[in-house]
Amino acid sequence: MKLLLLLLVMMMKISGSSMMMETISDRGTRTRRYAINPLGHKWTHHNITYRIIKFPNTLNKEDTRKAISIAFTKWSDVSPLTFTEVTNGSATADITIGFYIFNHTDCWWSPLHPCFDGLNGELAHAFLPPRGEIHFDNHEFWILGKSRFSWKQGVWLNDLVQVAAHEIGHALGLWHSRDPDALMHPNATYTGQRNIAQDDVWGIQRLYGCQDKKRVCDPWARLGFCERRKTFMRKNCPQRCDLCYEPLDVVATPTSPPSNVKIKMVPRGKVVGFRCGTKSLRSPPKVSWYKDGEQILTSIPGYIVMKDRDLRIVANEFNEGVYTCRIHRRGDIVSANSWAIRLKPEQPSNS
């Protein structure tokens, strides 16, 4: 009976994300699975402050601060970002954190942020930059330690470090990852993933870049550490070892991808247009569009516009990838073209 109850409780637990998710079917091998918010929202400075404005009922202030600090450190270890807690009540902070119940500050007007629902269910949600808010359900039993079911109390004890680290990713500008091993995967609560995975590193560094954290990176690299100690160098010397970003990869589309992929390097914010086919046809062809092997089913205002044979995108991190168009006639593919869109590197600022 206890085992059955535990299974039921585990089935009830869901990831407390505030982001809308897509139905995704992976086809072929994919290296990049992270997702950056569509409009590229991010912080414009790297020294980010945070303040806990309302503490949980089940965890004392000292352990709450420790858990939140550990969660932020996971992201500062793999990015140029630094995080500082603000404890002065009159000072402002970039990110505010609070524990609330039911219909708190935002759920009536925001379809992406449902009201909290008591034990289990919705655990937490976060807002993208520059709003910078993270809300946790105060009906949950939050602990400093790994999630587990308490038979004594009859409730699920939730790992505040794990959930906070996931929500911080959203507050920094990341959406959910498709990599099941990633901290930003929507099912990270199920799996108990507490640590930043390589896919998470790629995502946060696509938004904020990366920097070497050690002054001895050059001698380490000359000793061959970039090849022999790649994990260590990825954390400490990503620039020196060219490990900041994943390489461009061409992902399989629903059928075999065309070989004539055209690579375009474009500046951020530029509108890029594609046309499927060049010949004038008497009757409008049936055209399908794909991004990284997944069919684009509808336009998304602000960054993807699809109309018959034409597709337009606004160049940003979210829209990087391989776009493929296919012309169909009587059920057969008669033409296909692909374009790989990459952002031109931006000049580093002095700030």
Phi–psi pair at 227, nearest 5 degrees: -95, -40
Q: What is the per-residue pLDDT across 153-175, written as a single tens digit (0 to 9) for each?
A: 777 888 999 999 999 999 999 98
Which region among 187-196, 233-242, 278-287, 295-304 has the lowest average model confidence (pLDDT)? 278-287
Strand partners, 76: none
Length, in residues, of the chain: 351
d(CA 198, CA 78): 10
Q: Does residue 88 surpass a pLDDT of 90? A: no
Q: Does residue 258 surpass a pLDDT of 60? A: no
328 among the known binding-site residues?
A: no
Q: What is the CA radius of gyration of the chain?
A: 23
Averaged pLDDT for residues 212-229? 87
166 among the known binding-site residues?
A: yes
Positive or negative, the CA dihedral 86, 88, 91, 95 is positive
106 among the known binding-site residues?
A: yes
What pTM, to 2 d.p., does this model score? 0.62
Q: What is the per-residue pLDDT across 103-123, written as a single tens digit (0 to 9) for each?
A: 665 555 554 555 665 566 677
Amino acid at 24: I
Which region among 133-137, 141-145, 223-227, 232-236 has the lowest average model confidence (pLDDT)? 232-236
- DSSP helix/strand/coil, 200: helix
21 among the known binding-site residues?
A: no
Phi–psi pair at 6, nearest 5 degrees: -60, -40
Half-sphere exposure of 71 (CA within 13 A, CB side): 30
Half-sphere exposure of 113 (CA within 13 A, CB side): 23
Averaged pLDDT for residues 176-192? 85
Tokens read off for 173: 């500008």
What are the angstrom distances between the C-alpha of 19 and each of 23, 167, 177, 178, 318? 13, 10, 11, 13, 15
Q: Is 238 exposed, middle or buried (0-12, 13-18, 19+ CB in 10 A)?
A: buried
Please indicate whether residue 58 or residue 257 has the higher confidence score (pLDDT).
58
pLDDT score, position 119: 67
Which region among 195-199, 298-302, 313-317 has the lowest average model confidence (pLDDT)? 298-302
Q: Is 297 exposed, middle or buried (0-12, 13-18, 19+ CB in 10 A)?
A: exposed
Mean pLDDT of the chain: 76
Secondary structure letter of residue 120 according to DSSP = S
Q: What is the per-residue pLDDT across 14-34, written as a single tens digit (0 to 9) for each?
A: 333 333 222 222 323 335 577
* Peptide linkage before 285 cis (omega within 30 of 0): no
- DSSP helix/strand/coil, 351: coil
All structural domains of the chain with their residue ranges = 2-207, 261-343
Burial of 95-106, coded b for 16+ CB within 10 Å and e otherwise, reads bbbbbbeeebeb
Which region among 123-132, 187-196, 198-207, 258-267 has the lowest average model confidence (pLDDT)? 258-267
Please name the fold of domain 2-207. Answer: Collagenase (Catalytic Domain) (3.40.390)
Averaged pLDDT for residues 205-223? 86
Residue with tokens 């079917």: 25
- DSSP helix/strand/coil, 70: helix
184 among the known binding-site residues?
A: yes
- Round to the nearest angstrom and report the end-to-end CA distance of the chain: 60
State the catalytic residues.
167
**56 — pLDDT class (breaks 50, 70, 90):** very high
Strand partners, 135: 98, 125
Amino acid at 231: T
The CATH homologous superfamily to which domain 261-343 belongs is Immunoglobulins (2.60.40.10)
281 Cβ contact list (under 8 Å, min separation 6): none
Residue with tokens 């939050």: 142
Please indicate whether residue 89 or residue 226 has the higher confidence score (pLDDT).
226
